[in-house]
Homo-oligomer: A and B are copies of this chain.
Amino acid sequence: MPINWDTTSDGDAMGEELIELMRELYPLPRSLTGDGVRQTLAVLGRDLPLEIVEVPSGEVVFDWEVPREWTMRGGWIEGPDGTRVVDFADSTLHVLGYSTPVEATLSLDALREHVFTHPSDPELVPYRTSYWEERWGFCMSRSRLESLAPGDYHVVIDSTLADGSLTYGEMRIPGTSDAEFLLSTYVCHPALANDNLSGVVLLWALARALLQQELVYTYRLVWGPGTLGPLCWLARNRETLDRVQHGLAISCAGDPGPLRYKRSRRGDREVDRAATLVLRDRAGSLVSGWSPLGGDERQYCSPGFDLPVGTFSRTPHGLFPEYHSSADNLELVTAAALGDSFRAALEIVDVVETNGSYRNRSPYGEPRLGKRGLYQSVPDGTYPEAPLLWVLSLSDGSHDLLAIAERSGLPYRAIREAAATLQVHGLLERAP
């Protein structure tokens, strides 16, 4: 069904609301597992009927295994003069993700072995993790590191790595059909705003909007840790994956850069065409072909599943200078960008919900639109009838509305509305 925009927040209002939500979520200590993810999902679940799924440590998921759960209580470095050099309480970036516990006193040289700095910018704290190799470490700016005086440093990481579970949240919004539209984003990054609190809150906004709509497709929404989250979801839904007819992996949706869509692995699925069309009419947008470098789409589009999942973002991972650093903070994202992402994603949903093939019921010559009140009786050289004429011309059962919008260069919505008008007047019928 068409999106009912009257029941939908406009982009600006939604953008402001999402910025507020990001502020609340920003300090929570998210990681691949642990309470930071649970707290994040709890916040989202205040407004949404989220189902929380716990996948136990040690469970084999395709080629992977769910790791032990990481519980992080605190961590800091205390300098020779007793002051704290860095503290997890100030920023969740300061401790290497999945650090093993440590309490020790080291020389500056020995400490350096455990400190990660940003590869290019001396003032930024990098975001680093070590999920699969046991170690401990701190992240700080290179200038801070270089300012440290020789002496004894006391380091504390009060963490636990123990059997527990990996947590993801999911939600199902039923439509009239069992066919599914999958929307997915990742929740494992700590204090990084564009990558990917922006995706987390955008999916929350889409969930709220979709709950207000009459829908054809059944929507499956997933907030999980990157890589393993989608893999766990795929494993638990393997029997019904053939229902997934469209999907978007959402991330990095809040920076002021242009919208970007990366095609699914096959590249010509309906969601690819829908997103390409929506972005065509938003100046400056970019559409790229499939690449196996990226986020959750790596799992959904792996050749065994090969799901029709595209990637929806603004400036994606690695392409903005603040990427994976303390500069990817709340100043990087804007309400306007979030609102624009929200509207564009809903427009893609609108296309997929309403696309279809029709048949012109009066195909011999152009039907007389004038007698139906669909034509200006005194032509003035403009063509308000253009969408009607395009739909009539190409509705031969082999062009769907998307194809008509593609070929005519007209906005999808004009084509969809023309088709609805022609149906009302008995000039168009759904193709079998």
Q: Is A5 an interface residue (CB 8 A)?
A: no
A366–B299 touching, CB < 8 Å: yes
Of A234, A362, A381, most buried by chain B (CB within 10 Å of CB) is A381
Q: Is A357 an interface residue (CB 8 A)?
A: no
Q: Chain B residues near A299 (CB, 8 Å)? A: 365-366
B365–A234 touching, CB < 8 Å: yes
Q: Chain B residues near A119 (CB, 8 Å)? A: 380-381
Q: CB < 8 Å: which of B130, B390, B394 contacts A377? A: B130
A389–B323 touching, CB < 8 Å: no
Q: CB < 8 Å: which of B292, B303, B390, B393 contacts A302? A: B393
How far, in Å, is A299 (CB) from chain B's closest CB?
5
Q: Chain B residues near A393 (CB, 8 Å)? A: 265, 290, 292, 298, 301-303
* Interface set, chain A 39-75, CB cutoff 8 A to B: 61-64
B371–A132 touching, CB < 8 Å: yes
Q: Is A151 an interface residue (CB 8 A)?
A: no
A368–B302 touching, CB < 8 Å: no
Residues 265-280 of A, flagged 1 when their CB comes within 8 A of B and 0 if not, give 1000000000000000
Known: A293-B383, A378-B116. A363 touches B132 (CB 8 A): no
A305–B377 touching, CB < 8 Å: no
Q: CB < 8 Å: which of B132, B289, B379 contacts A370? A: B132
**Interface size classification for chain A:** 35 or more
Of A299, A380, A393, most buried by chain B (CB within 10 Å of CB) is A393
Q: Chain B residues near A371 (CB, 8 Å)? A: 132
Residues 383-424 of A, flagged 1 when their CB comes within 8 A of B and 0 if not, give 100100110111110000000000110000000000000000
* Interface set, chain A 193-234, CB cutoff 8 A to B: 227, 230-231, 234
Known: A116-B378, A129-B378. A292 touches B365 (CB 8 A): no
A363–B292 touching, CB < 8 Å: no
B378–A302 touching, CB < 8 Å: no
B292–A360 touching, CB < 8 Å: no
Q: Chain B residues near A62 (CB, 8 Å)? A: 362, 364-365, 367
Q: Chain B residues near A360 (CB, 8 Å)? A: 302-304
Q: Chain B residues near A368 (CB, 8 Å)? A: 63-64, 132
Known: A367-B63, A377-B132, A407-B289. A396 touches B303 (CB 8 A): yes
How far, in Å, is A207 (CB) from chain B's closest CB?
25
The closest CB in chain B to the CB of A372 belongs to B63
Known: A130-B378, A132-B370, A318-B381. A292 touches B362 (CB 8 A): no
The closest CB in chain B to the CB of A366 belongs to B298
The closest CB in chain B to the CB of A359 belongs to B303
* Interface set, chain A 232-256, CB cutoff 8 A to B: 234
Inter-chain CA distance A370–B133, complex, in Å, is: 9
Inter-chain CA distance A262–B362, complex, in Å, is: 24
Q: Chain B residues near A128 (CB, 8 Å)? A: 378-379
Q: Is A324 an interface residue (CB 8 A)?
A: yes
Inter-chain CA distance A368–B63, complex, in Å, is: 6
Would you list the 3 A-B pairs with minimal beta carbon distance, nearest first?
A304-B363, A292-B393, A304-B364
